[in-house]
Structures are given as structure tokens and as C-alpha cells.
Amino acid sequence: MEVLRREDAQYVLRPVREEDILEVMNINRLTLPENYTYSFFYSIAKSYPESFIVAESASKLVGYIMCRVERGFSKFGGLRFRKLGHVVSIAVMPEHRRKGIGKALMLEAMKAMRNVYHCDEVYLEVRVSNEPAIKMYESLGFAIVDTIKHYYLDGENAHVMACDLLGSLK
Ligand SMILES: CC(C)(COP(=O)(O)OP(=O)(O)OC[C@H]1O[C@@H](n2cnc3c(N)ncnc32)[C@H](O)[C@@H]1OP(=O)(O)O)[C@@H](O)C(=O)NCCC(=O)NCCS
């Protein structure tokens, strides 16, 4: 559990609990066009609870990150078969942005993917127009390794970004 102290508020970062899922789904619907069913959130919470982290302030959830573990070829190319942490979804409520919550959620999840689930690298897809998110991932050591045409339902392309977890975490 991690505590972020800011001028006007305090944020606690902790692993998700079953009773958080509806609140997480609400944040997801308010902040992202990619939404998922209750059972999708539930199954990831059950399978990978340590890298499904919520940020809470004054007994309300203000952000979350949800990840799962996969096996596949390295996103950096070549034929290395690796354990990959996949950031499926991350969001912070608009009124709580630019306070370091997104970055802290990413860092906590990356540590769990490396130390608990023994992932070699972590990757994610991001809309090519999503500058805030791309900047945040770059500040954490992620690089763009691929671009997938028409990845999103509305036709927008996605960058695939990846970060090696075997080096030190920034
Ligand atoms: C992306 C998102 C999670 C970032 O959350 P956040 O809590 O505001 O991020 P942080 O405060 O930790 O920002 C970390 C760094 O990211 C970069 N960054 C974040 N928002 C930015 C913005 N609007 N413009 C430029 N850079 C930005 C900055 O480098 C920032 O560091 P700084 O504040 O010291 O300059 C948030 O904007 C969000 O929820 N967006 C909607 C959902 C979304 O797009 N999710 C990602 C899908 S792939």
C-alpha cells in the first residue's frame, strides 16, 4: 500500500477488492471509450489482484490500473518467448489528474508484475492521439515498439508501447 500526500488531498493506492469493481467500472465508463463487462473486471481481479490497483481518496475511488499476465514473443522484436505484463486499462478521474496518481499506479503495477508475477516486460496499447498517456509512459521508460492500424472501434490507430522490467524500474 502506497500513500500519496498532496496539498489538498491524500491518496491511498491499494490492490482492488471485489466490492470495488462497480466503482472501477464507473470510472472506466466516464473516462474511456473502451468498456468491459463485470465478469471481465472480476476475472482479472481474481487472477492478478496485485497488479489491479486502485487509488482512493476520502473513501472514494479516483483511479485504477488493471493488468494481466500473458506469454508471448518479446514486444521488442526477435524470437524471445517471454512473460509479458499487459496493461489492459488505466484511468484517473479528470479532477484528480496531474497529481502523479497515474504514474504512481503504473509504478506499483509494474513492480507487482516484475516481483509477484515475474514478468520480463510490460506492454500496452494507446491511441496515437493520447498525448498525456504517451508522455506518462515515456517518463516511465516505455518506448513505442509498433503501431497497429485501425486498432480501435472508431478506426484510430494504436501505438504499442513496451518497457523492459529486467532493468531497474524508473
Ligand atoms: C493518462 C492518465 C491516466 C494520466 O494520469 P495522471 O494522474 O494525470 O498522470 P500523472 O499526474 O501521474 O502524470 C505523469 C506524467 O505524465 C505526463 N502527463 C500527464 N498528463 C499530461 C498532459 N495532459 N499533458 C502532457 N503530459 C502529461 C507528464 O509528464 C506527467 O508528469 P508531470 O505532471 O510531472 O509533468 C489520465 O490522463 C487519464 O486518466 N486519461 C484518460 C484515460 C486514458 O487515456 N488512459 C490511458 C489509456 S492507454
| 33 and 42 Cβ atoms separated by less than 8 Å | no
135 alpha carbon to ligand 1 midpoint, in Å?
Answer: 7
The band of 168, judged by pLDDT with boundaries at 50, 70 and 90, is low
Please provide the CATH number assigned to the domain covering 2-164.
Answer: 3.40.630.30
**Closest C-alpha residue for ligand 1 atom 20:** 132
In what order do the strands lie in the sheet containing 143-148? 2-5, 10-15, 53-57, 60-73, 81-92, 121-127, 158-164, 143-148
Strands (E), 7-149: 10-15, 53-57, 60-73, 81-92, 121-127, 143-148
Rounded average pLDDT over 35-39: 98
Best CA proximity match to 149, nearest among 139, 133, 141, 160: 160
CA of 131 to the centre of ligand 1 (A): 8
Please give the number of the atom of ligand 1 that sits closest to the Cα of 105.
12
User: Is the Cβ–Cβ distance between 116 and 51 less than 8 Å?
Assistant: yes
Q: Closest ligand 1 atom to the C-alpha of 127?
A: 48
pLDDT recorded at residue 166: 87
Ligand 1 pocket residues where CB is under 6 Å = 31-32, 90-92, 97-103, 124, 126, 130-133, 135-136, 139
| 169 has a pLDDT exceeding 90 | no
In this prediction, residue 167 has a pLDDT band, given cuts at 50, 70 and 90, of: confident
Residue 75: per-residue pLDDT: 97
Best CA proximity match to 75, nearest among 152, 154, 23, 148:
148
Kind of pairing between the strands at 81-92 and 143-148: unpaired
> How confident is the model at residue 170, as a pLDDT?
55
Q: Output the nine-digit C-alpha cell for 86.
A: 499487459
Average pLDDT over residues 57-66: 97
CA of 81 to the centre of ligand 1 (A): 31
Q: What is the pLDDT of residues 99-146, one digit of tens each?
A: 999 999 999 999 999 999 999 999 999 999 999 999 999 999 999 999
